[in-house]
Amino acid sequence: MKVFLSVDMEGISGLTDPEEMRAGGRGYERGCELMTGDANAAIRAAFDAGAERVVVTDSHGSGKNLRADLIDERCTLVRGPYKPMRMGEGLDPSFDVALYVGYHARAGAPRGVLNHTWMGREIQNVHLNGDVAGEIRLMAAYAGSLGVPVGLVAGDEAACEEARDVLGGVETVAVKTGRDRYAAELIPPARAQALIYERTLRALHNPEGWHRLTIPAPYTLRVEWNSTSIAQSCSLIPGVKLADPRTTEFTTSDYSDVVGLLGVCATLAGDIGCTGRQYG
């Protein structure tokens, strides 16, 4: 069995503050350790379930958050910024299953801890073929386009609810329940990581519970930005058009173009409009 593990940070056990997500912020170094601990719980379960190979992608921000010196030595780690497929970098059709740990709810989700879609403040909404899409839907669709099902999603309760809405009865692990965007009732990390291990092990022993999200081509990505200047700049990319002064649209028959385009647009948006608090 070959397992792909994508690890984001906002849905990691014990974390609620934007400062804990940002290099140089108060609590960030401890946040990286907690992120690595949650990842290791899933990695250990994967190998205990019989995986021959586990590939882990650091899917948060700069992609330099997971502690390479503390990660389970049996896996391989994809890290660094500007990865072409971002949160899905390293995934290909040879994998049996994808696992998502540390994931969060989409922008605007009620009681979603640190809820956002792709960027903390620049993106208001994303729609994929007419359906509102957070990172769970976007990444599950990428896996599905490669023929790979999703076996587990771990994050806050709102993220788990979103995962079940997108993927039906997929195994989930809620490590915290949002009180507001920046506050949550937490399961202490040691117990949360034990839950991640147990649920991952259970999920990998039950392939009938894996769910592949299949979205028919062509794919239309609609992004509502918080700024007309971001939308205008992104519309200069060939194939991208303005749907209204703050919204861009792009249609393709290759889903990898959707992921790649979001990455390029996010880089542009960050340069144009990323000031102040990351999630402000």
pLDDT at 44: 98
Residue 134, classed as helix, strand or coil, is coil
Q: Using CA atoms, how far apart are residues 162 and 132, in angstroms rounded to an integer?
A: 11
Helix 189-204 with 28-48: angle, nearest 10 deg? 30
CATH code of the region 2-119+134-209: 3.40.50.10780
Residue in the block written with tokens 């899409």? 133
Enter the pTM of the model: 0.96
Give the model's confidence band at 114: pLDDT under 50 very low, under 70 low, under 90 confident, else very high.
very high
- Model confidence at 120, in pLDDT bands (50, 70, 90)? confident
What distance in Å separates the CA atoms of residue 105 and residue 205, rounded to the nearest whole number?
A: 26
Q: How many whole angstroms from its chain centre is CA 79? A: 14
Work out the angle at residue 37's Cα, subtended by the Cα atoms of residues 209 and 137, and round it to the nearest 5 degrees. Answer: 40
Tokens representing 60 are: 């948060």
| Catalytic hit among 116, 127, 205, 211 | 116
- The span from the CA of 125 to the CA of 79, in Å, is 27
Q: What is the pLDDT of residue 274?
A: 53
Please tell me the distance from the alpha carbon of residue 155 to that of residue 181, in angstroms, as a whole number: 14
Contact partners, residue 244, CB within 8 Å, separation at least 6 = none
CA 237 to chain centre: 24
pLDDT at res. 276: 40
pLDDT score for 272: 87
Please, what is the Cα angle at 268 between 107 and 114, to 5 degrees? 25
Cis bond upstream, residue 189 (ω within 30)? no
pLDDT confidence of residue 277: 45
Alpha helices in 4-116 (DSSP H): 28-48
Residue 279 has pLDDT above 80, yes or no: no
Is 116 annotated as catalytic? yes
Where along the chain do its domains lie?
Answer: 2-119+134-209
Share the mean pLDDT of the chain: 96
Please tell me whether residue 87 adopts helix, strand or coil conformation: helix
